[in-house]
Amino acid sequence: MYTLEQIIKTWHECYGEDMTEEYAGFLDSLQARGYSDDKKDKQVKEDIWYGMTRWHIDDVKSLAPKWTDEKCHEFMERHSRRFQDRMVELGWEVLDIYVAEDINEVITIK
């Protein structure tokens, strides 16, 4: 489980964005569910994050081994928003498939 402070920090590290400006409504929603900036407060147990993904220049180098570290960094910076958007899209597709499979399994069993 993560504190709101950890979520904001991780978001900034992964996407280079200030979540407090870009996603203020989302943060308000998290706070309403029990997340807090105060480390003493604990978030609601049901609000746990799953499926966090991070990419490194070594991942790029595995596909383009002749590229320099600088070129890999430039590539990742230039495409980071696209990665983020596409991972969210694919994540929803996968989530939809697995939920549908589980729903069908429950229906079939009954």
* pLDDT tens, position by position, 3-52: 777 777 877 787 777 777 766 776 676 666 666 555 444 444 556 777 77
Cα 5 to Cα 49: distance, rounded to the nearest angstrom: 14
55's CB contacts (< 8 A; 6+ apart) are 76, 83
Place of tokens 């069993």: 109
Answer left, alpha or beta for residue 51, where phi above 0 means left and psi between -120 and 50 means alpha. left
Where residue 108 falls among pLDDT bands split at 50, 70, 90?
A: low
| Domains of the chain, residue spans | 1-38, 51-110
